Structures are given as C-alpha cells and as structure tokens.
Amino acid sequence: MENPHNIKKTCLNDQHRLLGAKMVEFGGFDMPIEYSDIVSEHNAVRTSAGVFDVSHMGEVRVSGPQAIEMVNHIFTNDVTPIANGQIVYGMMLHPDGGTIDDLLVYRLADHDFLLVINAANIDKDVAHILSQAKPYNVSVEHLSDSCGELALQGPDSPRIMKDVLSLDVDDLTFYTFKITHLDGQQVIVSRTGYTGEDGFEIYASHELTVKLWQQLMAAGVTPCGLGCRDTLRFEAGLPLYGDELTDTISPVEAGLSMFLKPDKEGGFIGRDAVATQKANGPKRRVVGLELQGPGIARHGYQVLDDQGMTIGEITTGYHSITLDKSIAMALIDSRYAAQGTQLLIQIRRRTVPAIVVKKRFYTPNYKK
C-alpha cells in the first residue's frame, strides 16, 4: 500500500470535500469515488451531463525538431498523418508487447505534442519517455503538477460549454481540440472523454480549473466520481489500464489492434512482438461476457470452460446501470473467444453460466 502521507491531491480536493464526496486513493491520488451515488451520477452522464475532476491524469509535452520521430518511436499509433488540432489514441509498449500505458497524443503544432497519460503510471511513463528521448533532438516537459483537467460528459455538454463556460465548441468534432483563452489564460479544449458519450475535456491552470468547476456547480451540473467513470467506460467497452491493459497484456490481446500501426516508418518499441501476435492470432483475448444467472463477476474471478477448467479471469464486471444486466470483460484463452461460446464464472462457491458477447455493450454517442 501507498504511504498515506504520499497521497497526492488535485487542485479540486477542497471542492470535493466541500461537496461531501466519498474519497478513495486511486493512482496515488486522493480522489472522489462518488458524491451522491454511482447510479444517479452514471445516469446523469448518459441522459444529461456530468463533470469529472480528471486532474490526476498526467501530461507530458514533447517538442523540437525530432518530436515526430521521437513520439512515433514510443507510440503504437502514427502521429505523422494527423493535423495540428487532432488527437490520436494509442499505447506505449515494452519490447515484448506488454503495455506500459495507453494515452492520448495531442498535436499542438508541427513539432509539438502533448501526451496525456494515466495517473497511476506517471512516474513509470515519464522515466520511459525521458530515457527514450535521449538520442533525439527534442525537449520533454513534465506538466502534470501544474495542469488541471475537467471532463464534461453527456448529451447536454455542448450546451453547457457554451452557456456556462462561454466556450464555443461547434467547430470541434470527436478527437479534435483547440487552444483558446479564458480570463486571459490559455486552455486546451478537446472533444474527448471516457464515458461513451459526447463530451469535452478542458486542460487549464489549477486556479482556472477550480473556477470552471465552481461555475459548473453553480449551474447545477452533476459532479461525478471515479465510481461512475468506471461503470460508464466499462459499458462502452473502453479499457482501463490495470484491468484490460497491463505491463503483461498487449493491445492485440486487449482487442485494440486498430490502434497499432506496425507498418509505419521506423516502427515503434514492441512493434515486432505485436506484429507477430497479430499475424498468428493472440493466445489470450479480452472478450465481453453476459451472465445468465444472478451475481456479479468481479475483477480477478476465474472464468471456466463448460467442463470446469480455468481458461482465464475477469478484468472488469458490473451489473450494468444502463443496460440493467450483469456483464463483464474477461481475459481468456482465445480458443474460447468466439461470440456465443458458453462459459462459467466462479463467483464465490457457485459457478454462474455466461455467454461470450461483443465487449462494446453500449453503443457510444460520439459527435464524429
């Protein structure tokens, strides 16, 4: 366990406590898991809007004459074809194909990129990026400690961006961003998120992040904790680092091959390992499961074949709030990964039948 004295706080920590949030340690940060309850916060995002403090996310800026080559060297996707103002999702890999982290890359300018990484991986990622950057003519700036971030998510978020925060977002489509100014300060506004709904992420100074948060609270926007962030992303089939992606799970195994560009110029770290997995088919795969009996499949529960032999384990499972059924994602032997395959999940002393289904349980509503 972390030493409690080393737990970091985001710039909104006082605001969470003011709202009476239930706080937990996540990724080394003292974070709100819920303010009222997970179900109503989840439903707010699906039906109207909710705002999350995601200031715990890490930000690293890579700029300089060789920024494209440097980012492409550590990143599975390809930043060459994207325009300034576009964002691309992908991973950083170990040479064996295991995942160091999944991340967003923002192209700020021709030779200037912002990498947005997971809170729990900040130290590991920054060390990796710095060591890999050495041979390149780039500068690497670690901005996590000075950058606040809000995620406003849900179908009402475009209206709230305009009416409450005076941010015009009509020109933003999914996975694009712009740099604009509020109160004379620079902010980055992107049409991105982690909920399966339309929405925005706003990167700003700590001071401005607090101010924007307070404006959203005053306007009655629902504050949302990490609890519903997990139930929302799970329903949309989005991976969480630590569950569906880890140092020992590759993106091919996680079903994320579309974010790998093994044929791009120069390749990337881990390229050969994932190209081989992709060509031969991975031995394990992340699949969706729908339970056919009562119970909830939690992270780490064993998945069995219909003869009772262990073939994998649950990575995430919930009683889906939107779909009102018990579903899970699991990393299993790929011979059992075909949709419709009948499996069993060990839940305490019982086994519950489950069937392999698509892991995108809920169809996202993005503004493409």
Partner 1 sequence: MIKYLPTHEYINVVDNDTALVGVSAYAARQLGNVVYVEAPEADEEFSAGEAFGAIESVKAASDLFAPLDMVIIEANDQVLDNSRLINEDALANWIVKVKILDPSQLDSLMDQDTYDAHCAAEH
Q: Which of residues 116-145 bind partner 1 (CB under 8 A)?
A: none
* Minimum distance, C-beta of residue 22 to partner 1, in the bound complex (Å): 9
**Contact between residue 87 and residue 190 where contact means Cβ atoms under 8 Å apart:** yes
* Minimum distance, C-beta of residue 294 to partner 1, in the bound complex (Å): 6
CA distance 28 to 241: 14
- Strands 50-53, 222-224: pairing is parallel
Backbone torsions φ then ψ of 274, nearest 5 degrees: -75, -30
34 forms part of the interface with partner 1 (CB under 8 A): yes
295 forms part of the interface with partner 1 (CB under 8 A): yes
319 forms part of the interface with partner 1 (CB under 8 A): yes
The tokens of 159 are what?
């209206």
Q: Which residue's structure tokens are 């991105």?
A: 192
- DSSP string for residues in 68-97: HHHHHHH-SS--SSPPTTBEEEEEEE-TTS
20 forms part of the interface with partner 1 (CB under 8 A): no
Q: Give the nearer residue to partner 1 in terms of CB position, either 72 or 231.
A: 231
Q: Figure out which of the listed residues 294, 300, 306, 358 binds partner 1, where binding follows CB under 8 A.
A: 294
* Minimum distance, C-beta of residue 295 to partner 1, in the bound complex (Å): 6
Q: How is residue 97 annotated by DSSP?
A: S
Q: Which of residues 337-366 bind partner 1 (CB under 8 A)?
A: 348, 350
Strand partners, 140: 62
Q: Give the nearer residue to partner 1 in terms of CB position, either 38 or 304.
A: 38
Q: Figure out which of the listed residues 231, 315, 341, 351 binds partner 1, where binding follows CB under 8 A.
A: 231
38 forms part of the interface with partner 1 (CB under 8 A): yes
User: Binding segment for partner 1 among 129-137, 255-263, 291-299, 333-341 (CB under 8 A)?
Assistant: 291-299
**CA nearest 195: which of 317, 315, 45?**
45
**Total binding residues toward partner 1, as defined by CB under 8 A:** 17
CA distance 100 to 128: 9
**67, containing H or E segment:** helix 67-74
Q: Figure out which of the listed residues 7, 39, 120, 182 binds partner 1, where binding follows CB under 8 A.
A: 39
Q: Where are the beta strands (DSSP E) in 165-217?
A: 177-182, 185-190, 199-204
Q: x-or-dash pattern for partner 1, window 172-211, by CB under 8 A?
A: ----------------------------------------
CA distance 263 to 281: 17
Q: Which residues bind partner 1 (CB under 8 A)?
A: 33-34, 37-39, 227, 231, 294-296, 298, 318-319, 321, 326, 348, 350
